[in-house]
Structure 1
Amino acid sequence: METAVFDSDDLQATEEYLSRAFTPMTISGRPENARARVDHRTEGGLTVDELSFGYTMSYDAGPLDRLCLVSVNEGVHTSGDEVCGPGETFLVAHPGRPYRGEVREADYTIVSFAPSHLQRTAAEGPGAVRLTGTRPVDAEANRVLHATVAYVRDTVLPAHASATADHPLVVGTALRHLAAVTLTCLPHTDRPDAGQQARTDSRDGHPDTLRRALAFIEDNAARDIGLAEIAAAVCVTPRALQYAFARHADTTPLRHLRRVRLDRAHADLLAAEPSRGSVTNIALRWGFAHQGRFAAHYREAYGRAPAETLRQLS
């Protein structure tokens, strides 16, 4: 994981750092004795920045090439006409458009990723989805998006030393989850020919599609794959793949992928030496960053805690 820390009360130095880290911008304010601090982490296309400003800072920024989700912890952050306070999360700007705003003695988190991940995640297919708003569609959507940003910040790419970022499956799975939550919580366009495409996808969702997808997942569960990669491997759209799993397996492609990885983790726990093996390391190896959720899924599948399986050979 690449990390960096910026800490300064010099306005020009802050402007130069923000311009390098995000997009060229001009800022103004009166720092006096207050400081600006940025804790930066990035890995596998996912970036977390924790920012703290002890003064009011105005900015005028150029276009971004990434989707930047801002979660406010303290103070106020504005962008254009949007004003966000503690507990609120929003998209700071649409990629490719300049923006301006103000940070008023605020602590906030920015989680960012390339827009292409929305297309890879969406069932509608490449080029079909475009975000049309910057605020979540309702209060519940804001809660979910805010919690997801916190999960990425605190569990996937935390500030303290952690093994999670060293596991590509963990970061890749988290990035797909974040993209899916973004599409769920922010307003976006629908594919213009959705009706015709749905009929085509329905025809492609046959048992042979399922058979080929199951084989691909079995052979590639250790790789960083998701809905788009599985669909491409069996030569159908993501939506057709979802149709096939729903009709013929009563599940989804990603739930099946999770179960396969859970089975691999179970096998590793059975094979590990209790004195040397680690539940945490095995869970991370198979893409499970949150140990509590891993334990819950494992207990549901096998009727006991993963640590019990690990200790059974002792």
Structure 2
Amino acid sequence: MTSIPVQTRQFDSRDPVAIHEFLSATYDPKLRLDSRNRFRLTHHRVDAGPFAIATTRQTGHLDIGASTLDGLVLGHTRTARVDRVCNGPVNRFGPGDVFLVTKPEEPCTVRWHPGEVELCVLDLAVLEQVATTAPARRPGRIRFTDLGPADQALARQWRTTTSYVRDVVLNNPSVSAQPLVIGNAARMLAAAALAVFPNTAFTEPTAADRHDASTATLRRAISFMEDFADRDISAADIAAAAGVSLRAVQLAFRRHRGTTPMAYLRRIRLARAHRDLLRADPRQETVSAIASRWGFASHSRFTARYHASYGVPPRETLHA
């Protein structure tokens, strides 16, 4: 498997020209920036291929116009107040709020007051992976119908998800170097975005999907997962290999296995990790390295899942 390069970028400046050049190069070549006073901007961003997470703080009052962003940009105000305008009324967000900074390909203006904001930038292809249906029934580009979360419980879900990805995945170089971990994290963020922010993604299975949710579909899907468990595959890839829609393969696993395709894939990968632990030389390998190789970013979660399945902690298997 090819590793996805995870790159960290730091920026700290009081020069308005340098700040504008940095933000334009990082987010939008046509970005407009206006400030009524001098200010300082600090920016810490980790790029992980299909997504990026950044923490940025500034000390002034900035008006920012964005027009050509291709991805979905989601914000979490930590201490700042942000006013967002796009062909309508002003939407105001304060400390603790989560919101859509930009919708795909939709110009907007943001007034950013002093303070800190966390940003998550998602590749649209990941959203489509998570929400796609069969090509003949694909509803087109996903539209988000509101800037804020559906409710506060979902807002907490978004904050929890980004914290996990930032602290457990991206802050651990040995973990973040694994393609399966990065792919899982990207889809986790995409699934959370689709769950938290109202949108038009297709969710209900059709009559054709119910017909296709057969044991034959299940066998084709499992065979593909067994063959490619070491690859960064998505539920959409599994459905395509089985020759049915995503909804059909999800329904097949729920109907015949009482689980989801990705949960079943995690079982396969757990079994592969178990095999590697049995074969490994404890002087050369560690539990964490084997777990992350198979897509498990959190050592504690992997240990708990392994113990529940095999009756012993993974370290005991490694040193047996």
- After TM superposition, the score normalised by the length of structure 1 is 0.92
Partner of 2:18: 13
Secondary structure, counterpart of 2:252 in structure 1: helix
Deviation, structure 1 residue 213: 0.7
Q: Which runs of 5+ in 1 are unaligned?
A: none
Which segment is superposed worse, 225-234 or 60-69?
60-69
Cα separation, 1, equivalents of 2:221 and 2:8: 37
Is 1:136 aligned with 2:149? yes
Cα separation, 2, equivalents of 1:190 and 1:62: 23
Is 1:88 aligned with 2:97? yes
Is 1:227 aligned with 2:235? yes
Cα separation, 1, equivalents of 2:143 and 2:225: 29
Whether the 8 Å CA contact 1:27–1:57 is kept in 2: the answer is yes
Deviation, structure 1 residue 127: 3.9
Whether the 8 Å CA contact 2:84–2:108 is kept in 1: the answer is yes
Q: How many residue pairs end up in the alignment?
A: 306
Secondary structure, counterpart of 2:195 in structure 1: helix
Partner of 2:248: 240
Identity of aligned residues (%): 37
Distance 1:172 1:83, change over 3 A: same
User: Could you list the per-position Cα deviations for residues 83-133 of structure 1 after superposition, in whole angstroms to 9, with x for gaps in the alignment?
Assistant: 222322211111111111122222122111222222210154544542211
**1:38 maps to which of 31, 36, 43:** 43
Distance 1:88 1:304, change over 3 A: farther
Secondary structure, counterpart of 1:181 in structure 2: helix
Is 1:112 aligned with 2:121? yes
Task: List 4+ stretches of structure 1 deviating above 6 A.
Answer: none
Equivalence map 1:1-314=2 (5 Å): 1-23=6-28, 24-30=30-36, 32=38, 34-80=39-85, 81-122=90-131, 124-125=133-134, 126-128=138-140, 129-158=142-171, 162-191=173-202, 198-312=206-320
Whether the 8 Å CA contact 2:76–2:118 is kept in 1: the answer is yes
Whether the 8 Å CA contact 1:42–1:157 is kept in 2: the answer is no
Cα separation, 2, equivalents of 1:4 and 1:292: 29
User: Could you list the per-position Cα deviations for residues 165-219 of structure 1 after superposition, in whole angstroms to 9, with x for gaps in the alignment?
Assistant: 211100001111111111111101254xx87x61000000111000111111001
Whether the 8 Å CA contact 2:131–2:201 is kept in 1: the answer is no
Distance 1:91 1:271, change over 3 A: same
Q: Which runs of 5+ in 2 are unaligned?
A: 1-5
User: Could you list the per-position Cα deviations for residues 266-301 of structure 1 after superposition, in whole angstroms to 9, with x for gaps in the alignment?
Assistant: 111111122222111111100111222212211221
Aligned-CA RMSD value: 1.8
Secondary structure, counterpart of 1:163 in structure 2: helix
Secondary structure, counterpart of 2:114 in structure 1: strand
Distance 1:304 1:86, change over 3 A: farther
2:91 partner amino acid: E
Cα separation, 1, equivalents of 2:227 and 2:40: 51
Whether the 8 Å CA contact 1:119–1:127 is kept in 2: the answer is no
Cα separation, 2, equivalents of 1:123 and 1:60: 31
Secondary structure, counterpart of 1:92 in structure 2: strand
Secondary structure, counterpart of 2:79 in structure 1: strand
Whether the 8 Å CA contact 2:20–2:33 is kept in 1: the answer is yes
Whether the 8 Å CA contact 2:57–2:115 is kept in 1: the answer is yes
